[in-house]
Structure 1
Amino acid sequence: MKARGGKAIYGASVGILMLDARFPRIPGDMGNALTWPFPVHYRIVREASPDRVVRRGAEGMLDAFIDAARELESDGVDGITTNCGFLALFQEELAAAVGVPVVTSSLMQVEQVNRVLPRGKRAGILTISASTLTPLHLEKAGVPKGTPIGTTEGGRAFTRAILDNELELDTDLARQDNVTAALKLKRDNPDLGAIVLECTNMTPYAADIGEATGLPIFSIVSLVTWFQSGLVPRRYF
């Protein structure tokens, strides 16, 4: 038996393009390596702050994300993702720039989730910033027009702490913000059958959201876990 080389790293099939942030990344956040049941490989895109990417449309950052994606590919990852749902804007460009599969945003799950729901039900989106989630973001992610959108904007802690890149996060208040926003989304949309969490920092609260709403909850962790299972299929014998 002979081992085969050609990569700089082994065992981490998923490469994650990270925003340049300092807010706490608690377990469940994709930027916390303990979240994953498999190894991942990180690359920070410098100057890509949460404010710049979410509130300012990632202006001037495409080349930096392409360079970082190419570095991940050169390191040896088998697929690439990002840690912000708003980076759906760069899906086409990143996929064209590298030779491995790319999935930029949790929002790319919405159409797939719609297909598995009972007739008359549809998925909705919970986002960190509805005011800056544009039709172009949704189009790039393949989100059907008219998809209901809820947001944690205006809450007590979550949106502010993440987008202002604060060094402290009140996780109890953040949980309340997410649950409250999800319940409002359900209340406003009687045909809601599931929720897709746009923001990768929402995943720590997915179980709470599911328990409160009684709905299936899909997140970046559910998407990347599926993604990784295709990159490295489980061996059964």
Structure 2
Amino acid sequence: MKDIASRPPHRGRPIYGAKLGIIILDTRFQRFVGDIGNAETFRFPVQYSVVSGISLGADLTPDGETLQVFYRAMDDLVARGVDGISTSCGFLAIMQPHLTARSPVPVASSSLLQIPMLQRMLPSNKQVGVVTAKKPALTPEHFAGVGVDFNGPIAGMSLEGYFRANLVSGNPRIDFARQEAEVLDTVRTFLTESPNIGALVFECTNLSPYSAAVEREFGIPVYDVITMLDWFHAGLSPRRYR
């Protein structure tokens, strides 16, 4: 039998060793380690393609012009050699069917993709709770975009809070501790109001730097875009055991 290591690659590519590509919004706010937009977050190399001129994903709709911008970014990443694509905003779940219809490689657009698996894993008396950057903007269409039937509890970060202000203003110098405290306060209220939540999913990719603090404070599993991409990449580049 021919040794696997001697087989040629599945396709030629200009860049090797970075199998995950990320379509990232055109932002300027500080992205801490743990954020999808900080390359030091990952235990493996990633490639980025910026969608110029699009900075906030919450209010995007999959119209023709917007889709063309994302298609160009996707095509750029595929041409560079990635084997899987993600995006830097959970609200881009609404783009999922459009991206997969065009992409030659798998696409994981949003952390919301994890919800169906978690719903089936939790004890029958528990449910998934979603924390989002902008609750009024998270619609059934976003869940439908990733094939999720969800009617569980949703909490949003304050629209007048420090976290939201930093995203909107593009603040390049964010107080990490202050932002973490706001996330913890939001989750504390959420869990008090919905005590049967058994796991949290963070819609917003900018919340993932605070996942560990939330789990440590409340003892509840937290799933975010990074937990999804760790899993996604494990299939793109499986661990070798021998």
Same-fold call, TM cutoff 0.5: yes
**Tell me, what secondary structure is at the counterpart of 1:131?**
helix
Deviation above 3 Å: which 4+ runs of structure 1?
Answer: 1-5, 55-60
Cα distance in 2, alignment partners of residues 63 and 187 from structure 1? 43
Select 1:49's aligned residue among 48, 55, 69: 55
| Most deviating of 58-67 and 132-141 | 58-67
Structure 1 residue 142: Cα displacement: 2.9
Give 2:72's aligned amino acid: D
String of CA shifts for 1:37-58, please: whole Å, max 9, x gaps. 00001111101112xx213547
Structure 1 residue 156: Cα displacement: 3.2
The match for 2:158 is 153
String of CA shifts for 1:115-143, please: whole Å, max 9, x gaps. 11112111110000001111211221233
Aligned CA RMSD, in angstroms, stands at 1.6
Select 1:208's aligned residue among 187, 209, 213: 213
Cα distance in 2, alignment partners of residues 78 and 6 from structure 1? 12
**Tell me, what secondary structure is at the counterpart of 1:54?**
coil
Task: Normalising by structure 2, report the TM-score.
Answer: 0.92
The match for 1:79 is 84
User: Is the CA contact 1:183–1:212 (under 8 Å) kept in the aligned structure 2?
Assistant: no
Q: How does 1:117-156 map to 2 (within 5 A)?
A: 117-154=122-159, 156=161
String of CA shifts for 1:2-39, please: whole Å, max 9, x gaps. 86571010000100000000000111111111000000
Q: How does 1:1-237 map to 2 (within 5 A)?
A: 4=9, 6-50=12-56, 53-57=57-61, 60-154=65-159, 156-237=161-242
Give 1:54's aligned amino acid: A
**Tell me, what secondary structure is at the counterpart of 1:118?**
coil
String of CA shifts for 1:57-98, please: whole Å, max 9, x gaps. 476421100111011111100000001000001101111111
Task: Normalising by structure 1, report the TM-score.
Answer: 0.94
In structure 2, list runs of 5 or more residues that go unmatched: 1-5
Structure 1 residue 167: Cα displacement: 2.4
> Sequence identity of aligned pairs in percent?
37
In structure 1, list runs of 5 or more residues that go unmatched: none
Cα distance in 1, alignment partners of residues 37 and 187 from structure 2? 23
User: Is the CA contact 1:48–1:58 (under 8 Å) kept in the aligned structure 2?
Assistant: no
The aligned length equals 235
Cα distance in 2, alignment partners of residues 89 and 114 from structure 1? 20
User: Is the CA contact 1:124–1:194 (under 8 Å) kept in the aligned structure 2?
Assistant: yes
Cα distance in 2, alignment partners of residues 94 and 120 from structure 1? 35
Cα distance in 2, alignment partners of residues 192 and 231 from structure 1? 31
**Shift in alpha-carbon separation, 1:213–1:98, aligned structure 2, 3 A:** same
